[in-house]
Amino acid sequence: MNYTEAVEYIESTPKFTKKNKPENTAELIRRLGHPERRMKVIHVAGTNGKGSVCAFLASILQKAGKRTGLFTSPHLVEITERFQVDQVPVSHETFTDAFVRVKREIDAMIKDGFAHPAYFELLFAAGLLMFEEAGVEYLVLETGLGGRLDATNLVEHPVVCVLTSISLDHMEYLGDTVAKIAAEKAGIIKEGVPVVYDGRNPESEQVILAQAEKMHAPTYRYDDSMCEILAKTEKSIDFMLDCSYDKTDMAKRLRITVPFLAEYQVVNSSLAAMAARVVAEREKNGGTGRQEGSGTITDETIAEGIRTARWPGRMETVLPGVVLDGAHNADGIREFIRTAADVRGRRPVSLLFSAVVEKEYEKMIREICEDMRPEFVVVTQVGGARVVPAKTLAEVFCRYTKVPVVAKADVGEAFAEALARRGDSMLFCVGSLYLVGELKKLLVSEGQTEQEA
């Protein structure tokens, strides 16, 4: 089996079916020899920001000299993006070899009466094999959907758990209140394992603290009072993080430069820094040993790891004055609007937008028009069977704004139109990770290199 055939098989596995029981995935991982037990896992869950936190943590650990695996989702262009070793996606050959080994065990399981793994479960199993084969010391592991019943929650003894901001999303699977969703996310908390969490929402915090107390897990709370923003540009934010919460002998204040223009990345990078300091303290006190040749996590490696981190498609500057952002739910759009409105205080802003059918796109569009106030809007369509026609999106925009709105069904034509109209405005391309993925493919195919504004 070659790489193309492996990917075709995986993509034919339904993504949005009901999950298998955890016991089914546990059986697959058992048959693979429990590779996760030979790595130190940092487990991250949340509604928004968990991918960014994972990217910051992986960068910090690599700067500290740790061989680091990173498992995230979804991918934007190619499936191998989900599996990175020291911030480099695995090769096609490595991916195919791991898939063939997993497929062999799946076939045997089916003969024994077990269910075929779902899409994410299959990728998680293959990832564990790849990371074990690569000899990673630390694995930064992003949950897929929820936490309690997620395939990644089979990890028995993570080094630290991180819970990012929690809000309403995937309500058909996780519940219709923040408290219910928080209960699913907090399901990753394990007995005695430290928990770093975003404490800005009282409703989710109450659930997290209750679960942490039940599991005798020490907690480390982030809130906005811990950060003082020092300077902002259209490329980065400098801020000071108050670290007095952790009672270590490391510095009590840490100056950080986060290489994104969105203030929410101050929160995400702070959560990563907090988690890294917890890991450093555990290493120092023998809570987790270091591999031979592995370096030490310091405040310097934390700051450098954050400064050099990259997270494609999340407030990512891909061309001068052109930003891609995968915001696609209410909380994500709200944060995007906040960033765009901040930029609008310095220069005009414009918009390329698309959304898929299950998202509350009319509400998203109304908020964008009321609070972002772009100079013009270009809409397009993405998502295959989940597509919302460009014409439909344009009609909704026209209900809430008087600025020019152009509909182009083809993503390439829409992007070209937006670039042609941009002038001196900052162009934000937002509304769906499908849109971000299509634009990334387009930039690669046209040979345009990403560059800082």
Mean of the per-residue pLDDT values for the chain? 90
Is residue 339 in a domain?
yes
Is residue 283 in a domain?
no
- The CATH number linked to 372 is 3.90.190.20
pLDDT per residue over 200-227, tens digit each? Answer: 999 999 999 999 999 999 999 999 999 9
Buried b (16+ CB within 10 A) or exposed e, 6-19: bbeebeeeeeeeeb
| Higher-scoring residue by pLDDT: 74, 90 | 90
Q: Does one domain contain both 191 and 63?
A: yes
pLDDT of 417 strictly over 80: yes
| Higher-scoring residue by pLDDT: 171, 180 | 180
Q: Does one domain contain both 44 and 177?
A: yes
CB atoms within 10 A of CB 229: 11
Q: How many CA atoms lie within 13 A of 353 on its CB side?
A: 31
Q: Does one domain contain both 218 and 340?
A: no
Q: Which residue type occupies 77?
A: V
Number of domains in the chain: 2
Q: Does one domain contain both 219 and 365?
A: no
- The CATH number linked to 176 is 3.40.1190.10
Q: How confident is the model at residue 453 (pLDDT cuts 50, 70, 90)?
A: very low
pLDDT per residue over 82-109, tens digit each? Answer: 999 999 999 999 999 999 999 999 999 9
Q: How confident is the model at residue 452 (pLDDT cuts 50, 70, 90)?
A: very low
Is residue 264 in a domain?
no
DSSP tag of 74: -
Distance of CA 372 to the CA centre of its chain: 24
Query: What percentage of the chain reaches a pLDDT higher than 70?
Result: 92
Q: Does one domain contain both 67 and 179?
A: yes
d(CA 393, CA 369): 13
Best CA proximity match to 71, nearest among 92, 101, 41: 41
Is residue 43 in a domain?
yes
pLDDT of 422 strictly over 50: yes
Structure tokens at 7: 């990917």
At residue 360, the pLDDT reads 82
pLDDT per residue over 434-449, tens digit each? Answer: 899 999 999 987 665 4
pTM: 0.89
Is residue 247 in a domain?
no
* Last residue within a domain, chosen from 191, 224, 257: 224
Q: What is the mean pLDDT of residues 368-372?
A: 90
At residue 168, the pLDDT reads 64
pLDDT per residue over 117-169, tens digit each? Answer: 999 999 999 999 999 999 999 999 999 878 888 999 999 999 999 999 987 65
Is residue 249 in a domain?
no
Residue-range definition of the domain harbouring residue 214? 3-224
Is residue 325 in a domain?
yes
pLDDT per residue over 326-360, tens digit each? Answer: 876 777 888 888 888 888 888 999 999 999 886 78
